[in-house]
Amino acid sequence: MAEYIIKGGKRVCGEIDISGSKNAALPIIAASILNAGKTTLYNVPNIHDTQMMFEILKKLGGNVTKKNNKIIIDTSKVNKYEIPEDLMRQMRSSVIIVGSLIGRHKKALFSYPGGCDIGTRPIDLHLRAFEKMGINIGKNYGNITCSCDKILGEKIDLDFPSVGATENAILTACLAEGKTTITNAAREPEIIDLQNFLNKMGAKIRGAGSNQIEIIGVKKLNDVSYNIMPDRIEAGTFLCLSAMTGGNIKINNTNSETITPVIDKLEEAGCKFNIKKGEIEILAPKKLKAVNIKTMPYPGFPTDLQSVFATTMTIAKGTSIIVENIFENRYKYTQELIRMGAKINVEGKTAIIKGVRKLYGANVKATDLRGGASLVMAGIVAKGTTKIENIEYILRGYEKFDQKLQKIGVDIVVK
């Protein structure tokens, strides 16, 4: 397993480009199965999770080629409907292929998904949405079979606005008979990106971004070319890093509207922003003020930035209260931060952080993707050298992370 070595104590400064969104790219790559033809994608981040998704497509009979900055996917020969168990275990988002397989073959076979260990992560809402649309579900020792004669447009009311369940319901409904209405749908910007992509392919979807989405089934979808939206979680990570180091950076290829809650909270902590179309510049004060956050479904504060923001607060003036409402096991990284001198007390879904003057370099281990990125941030401000093990978790979601960090003045190497 590779590791990062960081010499800390630096203030970040400069400009970087934000990559395409991981969480938009994954369902869009999965959706390419639906047109049984060609999909050309731009701005796909070159990270472990998108590579895994391409591997699954290839195992199903698809062809993926890379030409300069575009990825061409040909799914005309996708003839399998079984997602290989080893790939399914490696990445939770692999479950997002199921809706497309049902749409294409009226059949899918898969096992319970794996992924980051941040909570139990059930898929009951996905399965209930499939059942509502006339899909028969069979369960046998951890394997799940979905099959049907036809997919029926239906009314689906989600118990919780799950991002993945909303996406899977949309993907299944594109080629269904009749109209599907999803209520209590997730409102994340990545769902709008999926809607825009599918509509460009010929689907009839409206309402993404609100809590009610309507899909009118069509008979066939076309070849398509699409540019993936920028990654709002990567943007939020770099803004928090800049805030934490008292830095001044400008991020390009971004959309400030998708990270409003993060910008608002960083402003409350004392940061100043200069926002233009596609660009955000942040100027951080010498010392941040402690602020509280609660994670919520969009448009609330994103759970994927909880660890990043909490880490920023470890050296703020005062005490911050962090409440994690989405995933129950998302505080593992705090144990590693404590080794670096942070004062954090976790009780259930709440973390109480007492700001300290300094963090100190230590040997730590990434335990999940975003928690791992948070340790990198801590290493950058810490006095001394930090060694971070298990960086494979971080590489699942951040493209060229070390190179981008070097560009803004961080002393980081991969070993």
What is the torsional sign of CA 368, 369, 371, 375?
Answer: positive
Which of 19, 100, 162, 172 binds ligand UD1 (CB under 6 A)? It is: 162
Question: Which region among 163-171, 224-232, 244-252, 307-315 touches ligand UD1 (by CB under 6 A)?
Answer: 163-171
Select 125 or 146, whichever has its Cβ closest to ligand UD1. 125
CA dist., res. 359 & res. 60, Å (int): 48
**From the CB of 406, what's the least distance to ligand UD1, in Å?**
26
Long-range contacts of range 210-214, CB-CB < 8 Å, 24 or more positions apart? 210/185, 211/161, 211/183, 211/184, 211/185, 211/187, 212/181, 212/182, 212/183, 212/185, 213/166, 213/170, 213/181, 213/182, 213/185, 214/179, 214/180, 214/181, 214/182
Select 8 or 333, whichever has its Cβ closest to ligand UD1. 333
* Closest to 252 measured CA to CA, from 15, 60, 92: 15
CA dist., res. 43 & res. 234, Å (int): 14
Select 18 or 326, whichever has its Cβ closest to ligand UD1. 326
Which of 58, 77, 119, 222 binds ligand UD1 (CB under 6 A)? It is: 119
- Residues 183-222, one symbol each (x = binds ligand UD1 by CB under 6 A, - = not), give ---x---x--------------------------------
**From the CB of 123, what's the least distance to ligand UD1, in Å?**
4
**From the CB of 303, what's the least distance to ligand UD1, in Å?**
5
Which of 126, 250, 365, 404 binds ligand UD1 (CB under 6 A)? It is: 126
Which of 4, 6, 12, 23 binds ligand UD1 (CB under 6 A)? It is: 23
Q: Please report, as residue ranges, which positions from 247 to 306 form the binding site for ligand UD1 (by CB under 6 A).
A: 303-304
**With b meaning 16 or more CB within 10 Å and e meaning fewer, what string describes 3-41?**
bbebbbbbbbeeebebbbbbbbbbbbbbbbbbbebbbeb
* Closest to 366 measured CA to CA, from 338, 344, 340, 387: 387
Task: Check if the beta carbon of residue 177 is closer than 8 Å to that of residue 153.
Answer: yes
Six-digit token pair at 396?
């699942």
CA dist., res. 53 & res. 96, Å (int): 10
Select 123 or 215, whichever has its Cβ closest to ligand UD1. 123
Question: Which region among 132-140, 155-163, 218-226, 277-285 touches ligand UD1 (by CB under 6 A)?
Answer: 155-163
**From the CB of 371, what's the least distance to ligand UD1, in Å?**
12
CA dihedral 31, 37, 42, 48 (to 10 degrees): 60
Ranges assigned E (strand) in 300-349: 319-323, 343-347
| Residue nearest ligand UD1 (C-beta atom) | 164
Q: Please report, as residue ranges, which positions from 77 to 116 form the binding site for ligand UD1 (by CB under 6 A).
A: 92-93
Which of 123, 185, 353, 373 binds ligand UD1 (CB under 6 A)? It is: 123
Select 8 or 189, whichever has its Cβ closest to ligand UD1. 189
CB neighbours of 335 closer than 8 A, spacing ≥ 6?
A: none
CA dist., res. 346 & res. 365, Å (int): 19
Question: Which region among 138-146, 156-164, 264-272, 388-396 touches ligand UD1 (by CB under 6 A)?
Answer: 156-164
**Among 116, 146, 148, 240, which one carries the catalytic annotation?**
116
Size of the site for ligand UD1 (CB under 6 A): 22
Which of 106, 121, 339, 354 binds ligand UD1 (CB under 6 A)? It is: 121
CB neighbours of 273 closer than 8 A, spacing ≥ 6?
A: 256, 263, 266, 267, 280, 281, 282, 283
CA dist., res. 283 & res. 65, Å (int): 41
Six-digit token pair at 307?
């660890």
- Residues 219-238, one symbol each (x = binds ligand UD1 by CB under 6 A, - = not), give --------------------
**From the CB of 94, what's the least distance to ligand UD1, in Å?**
10
Task: Check if the beta carbon of residue 63 is closer than 8 Å to that of residue 88.
Answer: no
Peptide bond into 299 cis (omega under 30): yes
CA dist., res. 75 & res. 262, Å (int): 38
125: contact with ligand UD1 by CB under 6 A: yes
Question: Has 271 been annotated as catalytic?
Answer: no
- Residues 315-344, one symbol each (x = binds ligand UD1 by CB under 6 A, - = not), give -----------xx-----------------
**From the CB of 119, what's the least distance to ligand UD1, in Å?**
5
Question: Which region among 12-20, 161-169, 357-365, 387-395 touches ligand UD1 (by CB under 6 A)?
Answer: 161-169
Positions in the binding site for ligand UD1 (CB under 6 A): 23, 26, 92-93, 119, 121-126, 160, 162-165, 186, 190, 303-304, 326-327
Catalytic residues: 116
